[in-house]
Copies of this chain bind each other. A is one copy, B any other.
């Protein structure tokens, strides 16, 4: 992995090349010139301070330095020497070379977080939670945004360029995980099928309950013709929404549900909603959208058709993004504890790395009623 690069470059040029498997275009020519009279940037620039330098400065051996700085000295090194070492390290600005440590230890204290997209704050919050827990354990987190979230991920083990101790994958489409699976690394999946055999542990949101709460809210308001704007993404989290919603609606006599698929964008949401709302006759009075982005699109569709929200049609979202309160009216939506998901996921992974077996977790979600829902129109 990835470690502290010390000297600028040893001598002679680096070698351009990608990973062994991929004969990628190498890096462009570099110039030689250890002897060039001119601008040879070739000096061991920051001749990085090594633990040996510290040892020398402190008048002890490298081993002692390692012991002290690794906090394993109690009972092996005298308090006084320990302090000397720490002082020397501080003075010299010593930073351990992570590559060397990783090589020696066989572990990197780095975890990869794979997310389908960078563009929504849901994943930003997942990251935040995961990072906090990781930091507590002395681990770092590297983000890997799977391109477009839906296509098969490019090889993170090559691309992230970090060697890893474990992987956390969130809300990935079913087919986007092939490579993550193959890594042979401890894997925790978030917001994903708990029965997936690839994951050693899962952390989930009670998505089904969120869908039920949404349905319950609308049904209680009196809605009987409900349309589901369903994300056209093949992942567990959306399948669950569809199923739970269908069941909830089916449980109420006289209630009917129709489903319209949509890509995850405002524009696609708008188009899907227009299709649904344009159906003559029994137009739905409520639109349940798989996320807030689709819901925003649905609102635009309604407005274009001259329908008022919530008077003529109610709209609900999912996620409670900033977008949910940016539109008018504000969206009734399901708030997901994203940070908690990230944190729980990282805890599970840490447990796993300690050789123990974490429990699968399910976190509760909460419907946030706002201005986009109301009783259906009279007629």
Contact = CB atoms under 8 A, between A and B. Distances in A.
A163 B99 contact: yes
A91 interface: no
A232 interface: no
Which one of A16, A123, A145, A161 has the greatest number of beta carbons of chain B within 10 Å? A161
DSSP class of A's interface residues: helix, strand, loop or mixed? loop
Contacts of A357: 8
A56 interface: no
Given A1-B354, A5-B352, A17-B138, A102 B99 contact: yes
A355 B31 contact: yes
A7 B22 CA distance: 27
A14 B198 contact: yes
Nearest to A26: B182
A195 interface: yes
Contact of A326 (B94, B164, B179, B300): B300
Interface of A: 1-28, 30-31, 39, 41, 45-46, 69-72, 89, 94-100, 102-103, 105-110, 117-121, 123-124, 127-128, 131, 135-143, 145, 147, 155, 157-165, 174-175, 178-179, 181-184, 186, 193, 195-201, 265-267, 293, 296-297, 299-300, 303, 322-323, 325-328, 350, 352-355, 357
